[in-house]
Amino acid sequence: MDDPANLLPGTLDLLVLRVLADGPMHGWGIGERLAQRSEEVFQVNQGSLYPALQRLRRQGWIEADWQRSEANRRARYYSLTPAGARRLDLEVRAWERAKGAVDRVIRGEETPGPARA
């Protein structure tokens, strides 16, 4: 998916938080990990990834500090905060509910609900 705008709102944030739950990573590595784990379905460009990282920092869900990369270059490494871990848990539960609802619609399943006139 070349255009992250095609993702549901908030999905990129969820994916970034999930990747960072595995440990600190620099921005380029986050993008690579998203592509790898999604079998290249999500190829997030820097113009979308870095604004998302800044938004997550402002929310207090991730933090950043300068470190040396594997190539011995200075890179900003991002890590999940405790508040970010809690947010990730909430987002995963919300995603599971939404995914179930979409699956039911796609399969054409009817679920019991309030009667409509």
What is the CATH number for 48?
A: 1.10.10.10
Q: What is the pLDDT of residue 87?
A: 97
Q: pLDDT tens-digit profile of 23-54?
A: 999 999 999 999 999 999 888 888 889 999 99
115 in any annotated domain: no
Residue 25 lies in a domain: yes
What predicted TM-score, i.e. pTM, was given to this entire model? 0.82
Give pLDDT tens digits for 46-101: 888 999 999 999 999 999 999 988 888 899 999 999 999 999 999 999 999 999 99
* Residues whose CB falls within 8 Å of the CB of residue 99, separated by 6 or more in sequence, listed in order: none
In a domain, 15, yes or no: yes
> Which residues, listed in sequence order, are joined to residue 25 by a DSSP beta bridge?
78
In a domain, 114, yes or no: no
* Of 83, 49, 78, the residue nearest 66 (C-alpha): 78
d(CA 68, CA 12): 26
With respect to residue 69, please indicate whether it lies within any of the assigned structural domains.
yes
Residue 116 counted as domain residue? no
DSSP state of 1: -
Q: How many domains does the chain have?
A: 1
Q: What are the start-end ranges of the E strands in 37-87? A: 62-68, 74-80
Examine residue 76 and state whether it is found in any structural domain, yes or no.
Answer: yes
The dihedral over CA atoms of 92, 98, 99, 100, expressed in degrees to the nearest 10, equals 110
Q: Which domain holds residue 36?
A: 4-105
77 within domain boundaries:
yes
The DSSP code for 106 is H
- Amino acid sitting at position 87: R
